[in-house]
Structure 1
Amino acid sequence: MLRYFFDIYDGSSFSRDAIGTECDGYDGVRFHAMHVLPTIARDEIPKNGDRQAFTVIVRDENNITHYTATLSFAGLWIGGSPIPEPDEDHFN
């Protein structure tokens, strides 16, 4: 298995992975990236308000980028507007 490094960018700061993770090919890289992003976001979203994006940049031991993925959060206050009733003609 090859070692890949999962660097994180949150829109303002870049955190470089110094340890890396051994992954079984590209499926393993994608799987690990999909699990890293929600874990990071869970701890960081409340700190930066209602708009935040987290990007993982995956590189190998030769510093070549192989994969990148982004997880975005967008919250919006509606201001107490009622949810409109569905138009029944639209659903028939």
Structure 2
Amino acid sequence: MPRYFFDVHIDRKVQRDDTGTDLATLEEVRKTAQRLLPDLAREKIPYGGDQRAIVVVTNEESHPVYAASLNYAGLWLIR
């Protein structure tokens, strides 16, 4: 079963996936990347301001196979 690596890019910082995940199909790769994005929005994106989280998936040969992004815009309406 092929192994894929899910690297996370937020605000010019990269968190490398050194472990990887074994997935049977490219559809599983897509679904896994998409499931990561809401968790990133809740846990990793700083409070306030605009941010973009990008998940770049590479295969065992380090070739990119899929990318997913989430744009977050936050604006306080009260002070």
Q: Which runs of 5+ in 1 are unaligned?
A: 80-92
Task: Count matched residues.
Answer: 78
CA displacement 1:9-33 (0-9 Å, x = unmatched): 0022011100001112110000000
% same residue = 38
Counting helix residues as a fraction of each chain, which structure ranks higher? Answer: 1
Q: TM-score, normalised by structure 1?
A: 0.76
RMSD across aligned C-alpha pairs, in angstroms?
1.5
Instruction: Give matches, 1:42-81, under 5 Å.
Output: 42-45=42-45, 47-78=46-77
Larger gyration radius, structure 1 or structure 2: 1
Q: TM-score, normalised by structure 2?
A: 0.87
More contact order relative to length (CA 8 Å, sep ≥ 6): 2
